[in-house]
Amino acid sequence: MKARIRVAGHAVHPMLVVFPLGLLATSVVWDICRLATHNAAWGTVAFWTIVAGIVGGLLAAVPGFIDWLAIPDGTRAKRVGVYHMVLNLTVVGLFVVSLIARLETPGGYSLAGFGRVIWGWIGVVLALFSGWLGGELVETLGISVNEGANADAPSSLAGRRSSRSGRAQIPIHREA
């Protein structure tokens, strides 16, 4: 099943998810730096990384939801997609809770204020499970995979049709 929202021949949802996943996961690294060094600047960096990750996560959810709507009802892929979506929204929600807890003093927390960071850390663990479900959708269930995809398929930008053998027709220029 081909993704509904595409740019240059590729699904938009997987292109967008790397940003919030990277930002939200990196916020945990900044939290660890803050707790280890007691330097409030790391806490501020974590705060703004979470803000960007939440915005990116919500933006990535739009094409993901539109693609999910196109999955046939009653299929395993539709069910896995629901779990994937609910986990991702839960991850974003946990980071929103963490962000709200940090609003008073974005850079200031200690082990006593661990409640400010733990929600996001739990979110990262859930994101690992959700990422696996996303992989299951693509790699096992073929969601967002082009029909006729194969190791010799032509470039999505080429606009060329493959031959009957399934191999791409790529012109070869040889010098005489």
Write down the pLDDT at residue 100: 87
Cα(165)–Cα(169) distance, rounded to whole angstroms? 10
Write down the pLDDT at residue 17: 93
Compute the Cα dihedral for 89, 93, 95, 99 and give only its sign.
Answer: positive
Write down the pLDDT at residue 107: 66
Tell me the C-alpha to C-alpha distance, in Å, between residue 83 and each of 13, 61, 104, 119, 167: 16, 13, 33, 20, 36
DSSP state of 66: H
pTM for this model (two decimals): 0.81
Low pLDDT (below 70) residues in the chain = 106-114, 159-176
